[in-house]
Amino acid sequence: MALPKLNTPTHKLVLPSTNEEVKFRPFLVKEQKLLLMAQQSDDKNEINDAIIDIIKGCTGLDAENLPMYDVEYIFLKLRAKSVGDIIEINLLCADDGVTRVPTKIDLNDIEVMSSVDHDNIIQLTDDIKLVMSYPTMKDMKDVSILDADVNVIFDILKNCISEVHNGDEVVNRVDIKKEELSEFIDSLNTAQFDKLMTFFNTMPKVRHVIEIKNPKTKKKNEVLLEGLQSFLD
């Protein structure tokens, strides 16, 4: 006799980048196993690949080419419906830099947030401006080596330039040669480059602020959780 097939419920979420409604199912044991194996390997690329595969299986979306903040948001929604709304993580108290406090967090409270001064249009001069797109999961696969490899930073930066405006003339990224774009970036002055870095530092991320109390010093600490890794840890 054949084993019965189990019905899997479906849920809905709204993509932060487009406000598009997306249907999803919770991840199954096979997908949870995939994630656990990746986490045990402690390899960030392996974890990213597992997240991409899980999102594709549960939503049908091409997670590799979604903005990072969409991927972060989707995965936390999947986790909430698959395992449970509440996670417990050990948060570090900044006042002594040693004590960790086990803290429960409701994943339903986590939202995508960006700084109030964030803008994806960067005015370099009176005539020249850049229209930026957001780094995707594919762009950020080597994020763990950003501090060690300046070329990776510049590659991500170049991938995120969507359009270059010079007065009324608009040049799309696909029409710009790599060498041309590299020369253009190299010709920026420090103030102009800082504007590009501000775009990255203020762009949308899953973000949550929580207050904890150090049991040793009795002092209150405000902890900022930012990016998916904060919630996976």
- Residue 48 confidence (pLDDT): 85
170: pLDDT strictly greater than 60: yes
Statement to judge: residues 41 and 155 lie in one domain: no
* % of residues, the chain, pLDDT over 70: 96
Q: Are 162 and 128 part of one and the same domain?
A: yes
Residue range of the domain that includes 83: 11-112+205-232
Residue 117 is assigned to a structural domain of this protein: no
Instruction: Answer positive or negative: Cα dihedral of 19, 23, 25, 27.
Output: negative
Q: Does any domain span residue 155?
A: yes
- Residue 200 carries which side chain, given as an amino acid letter? F
The answer to whether position 37 is within a domain reads yes
Q: Average pLDDT of the chain? A: 89
137/89 same-domain check: no
Give yes or no: residues 29 and 73 share one domain: yes
For the cut 90, the answer to whether the pLDDT of residue 3 exceeds it is no
For 42-98, what is each residue's pLDDT tens digit? 777 788 889 999 999 999 999 999 999 999 999 999 999 998 899 999 999 999 999
Instruction: Tell me: do 224 and 177 sit in the same domain.
Output: no
